[in-house]
Amino acid sequence: MSPKDRGEGRPDEDEGESSSRTPAVRGRPRSEAVERAIIEGVMRLLEEGVSLGDMSIERIARTAGVGKATIYRRWKGKEELFVEVMRVVDEPDQELAGDSVRDDLVAVLEGIRRRGLAKRSSAMLQSLLAQAKNYPQLWELYHGEVVARRRARLTEVLQRGVASGELRGELDLSLMADLFTGPMLARTILSHDAPLPDGLSEAIVDTVIEGLRA
């Protein structure tokens, strides 16, 4: 990456501020506003049909109204920035109450179901995820930071189920996780028109739990 692409040789400024202007008040709220402007800039370019490959840091900075150095202070490169955008547009994870293993498993699957519905209704989200698969480094980073965290969250729930005697302990936890998430992932990822009705998460969890009872 060239010094020019990294914005070197120019003041490290936020939102085009310069010494001729009154210094802005520094603080976290302003930082969040800048980050939001950058993320919205990427989303705007996606909505205009710009591919990830054609989306340079310079173009993103120009769209967001910030300097390139402002982006590089927050993200090392496009891949990290795109992962952040994917987090923002993705359906957020539900909080797990931690009182019932069964209810927490339903919450995990419900998150997958809702993300599947969001992808079907959002052309921008579909485009972002489809393009991301063409960039191995980006896809690997997304899985390492987002998918792996969700998988670890599910594993913790299963460990509680084994410890409490609600689930069989002789099975591999990774396989057990696949048994719960597999049916939902098949409908949300492999099939674009498979039904995702309310109550599907509960039906899957109850069916699998019946076969995994201690």
Whether the pLDDT of residue 41 is over 90: the answer is yes
Q: Look at residue 43 and tell me if it is in a domain.
A: yes
Mark whether 138 and 196 lie in a shared domain: yes
Residues 96-102: contacts with CB under 8 Å, at least 24 apart: 96/153, 96/157, 98/160, 101/157, 101/158, 101/160, 101/161, 101/164, 101/166, 101/167, 102/166, 102/205, 102/206, 102/209
Domain count, the chain: 2
pLDDT tens per residue across span 183-205: 999 999 888 789 999 999 999 99
178-185: long-range contacts (C-beta < 8 A, 24 or more apart)? 179/208, 179/212, 180/105, 180/108, 180/109, 180/154, 180/204, 180/205, 180/208, 181/108, 181/109, 181/112, 181/154, 184/109, 184/112, 184/113, 184/116, 185/112
> Do 108 and 131 reside in the same domain of the chain?
yes
Dump pLDDT digits (tens) for 54-110.
999 999 999 999 999 999 999 999 999 999 998 888 888 888 999 899 999 999 999
Instruction: Give percent helix, percent strand, percent coil of the chain, each to the nearest 5.
Output: 65, 0, 35
The whole model's pTM is what? 0.76
Domain residues for the domain of 39 are 28-77
Shortest CA distance to 212 belongs to which of 168, 179, 181?
168
Q: What percent of the chain has pLDDT over 70?
A: 86
Read off the pLDDT band of 30 (50, 70, 90). low
Same domain, 66 and 143: no
Under 8 Å between Cβ of 207 and 158: no
C-beta of residue 45 within 8 angstroms of C-beta of residue 59:
yes
Residues 66, 99: one domain? no
What CATH number does residue 32 fall under?
1.10.10.60
53, 77, 101: which is the final residue of a domain? 77
* 118 and 56, same domain (yes or no): no
Q: What are 188's two structure tokens?
A: 């949300």
